[in-house]
Chain A
Amino acid sequence: MRDTVVIAAQTLLLAVLAPAVVGYVRFAKARLQGRRGAGVLQPYRELRKTFGKGMVIAESASWIFHVAPFAILGATLAAASLAPVVSAVQPADVLGDLFVLTALLMLGTFFLALGGLDPGTAFGGMGSSREMTVAALTEPTLAIAILTLALTTGSTSLGVIAGSVLKTPAYAVGPGHAMAFTAFLIAMIAETGRLPVDNPSTHLELTMIHEAMILEYSGPYLALIEWAASIRLALLLTLAANLFLPWGLAASLAPSALAAGFVAILVKLGVLGLLLALLETRVAKLRLFRVPELLALSFTLALLAAASSFFTR
Chain B
Amino acid sequence: MDATFSRLTMTAASAMLLLALVVLWRRHVSAYITAFRTQSVVLAFVGGVVAWYGHVPELFFVSVVILILKGWIVPWVLSGMETRRHSARELHPLVNTETSLLVCGALAVAAYEISRPLAEVMNLATRGGLPVALALIFVSLFIVVSRREAIAQIVGFLMLENGIALLALLGAYGVPLVVEMGVFLDVLLGVLVMQAVVYHIYETSAD
> Do residues B98 and A174 form an inter-chain contact, with CB atoms below 8 A?
no
A residues near B14, Cβ cutoff 8 Å? 175, 178-179, 304, 308
- Among A21-29, A205-213, A291-299, the stretch that binds chain B is A291-299
**Is there a chain B Cβ closer than 8 Å to A310's Cβ?**
yes
The answer to whether A311 touches B112, judged by C-beta atoms less than 8 angstroms apart, is yes
Chain A contact residues, CB within 8 Å of chain B: 173-175, 178-179, 292-293, 296-297, 299-301, 303-304, 307-308, 310-312
The chain A residue sitting closest to B131, CB to CB, is: A311
- Interface residue ranges, B against A (CB under 8 Å): 7, 10-11, 13-15, 17-18, 21, 25, 97-98, 101-102, 104-105, 108-109, 112, 116, 119, 128, 131-132, 135
A148 to chain B, nearest CB (A): 13
Q: Across the interface, do A296 and B97 meet the contact criterion of CB distance under 8 Å?
A: yes
Of all chain B residues, which has the CB nearest A303? B105
Instruction: Show 21 residue pairs from A and B whose CB-CB distance is below 8 angstroms, ordered by the A residue.
Output: A173-B7, A175-B13, A179-B14, A293-B98, A296-B101, A297-B21, A299-B101, A300-B21, A300-B102, A300-B104, A300-B108, A301-B21, A303-B108, A304-B14, A304-B105, A304-B108, A304-B135, A307-B108, A307-B112, A308-B112, A308-B131
Distance between Cα atoms of A179 and B14 in the complex (Å): 9
Are B11 and A174 closer than 8 Å at their CB atoms?
A: yes
Q: A304-B108, A311-B128, A312-B128 are in contact. Are A297 and B10 (CB under 8 A)?
A: no
**Cβ-defined contact, A293 with B101, below 8 A:** yes
Smallest CB gap from A295: residue in B? B98
| CA of A57 to CA of B128, assembled, Å | 61
B97 & A175 in contact (Cβ 8 Å cutoff): no
CB neighbours (8 Å) of A307 from chain B are 108-109, 112, 131
The docked-state distance in angstroms from the alpha carbon of A310 to that of B7 is 16
Q: Report whether over half of chain A's contact residues are helix, strand or loop; otherwise say mixed.
A: helix
- Once the chains are docked, how many angstroms separate the CA of A292 from the CA of B100? 12
Residues of chain A contacted by B116 (CB below 8 angstroms): 311
Contacts of A299 in B (CB 8 A): 101-102, 105
Chain A nearest CB from B34 CB (Å) reads: 16
How far apart sit A303 and B101, CA to CA, in the bound complex (Å)? 11
Q: What is the minimal beta-carbon distance from B63 to any residue of chain A, in angstroms?
A: 21
Q: Looking at the assembled complex, report how far the CB atom of A145 sits from the nearest CB atom of chain B, in whole angstroms.
A: 13
Separation in Å of the A34 CB from the closest CB of chain B? 27
Q: For A178, what are the chain B residues with a Cβ–Cβ distance below 8 Å?
A: 11, 14
Report A-chain residues with C-beta under 8 Å of the C-beta of B15. 175
Cβ-closest chain A residue relative to B115: A311
Taking a contact as CB atoms under 8 Å apart, the answer to whether A297 and B128 are in contact is: no
Q: Which residues of A contact B11 (CB under 8 A)?
A: 174-175, 178
CA distance A292 to B21 in the complex (A): 15
Most buried by A among B18, B105, B116: B105
Q: Which residue of A lies closest to B109 (CB)?
A: A307
Contact A300 B109 (CB under 8 A): no
User: Closest A-chain residue to B102, C-beta based?
Assistant: A296
Q: Which residues of B contact A297 (CB under 8 A)?
A: 21, 25, 101
CA distance A297 to B25 in the complex (A): 7
CA distance A220 to B98 in the complex (A): 41
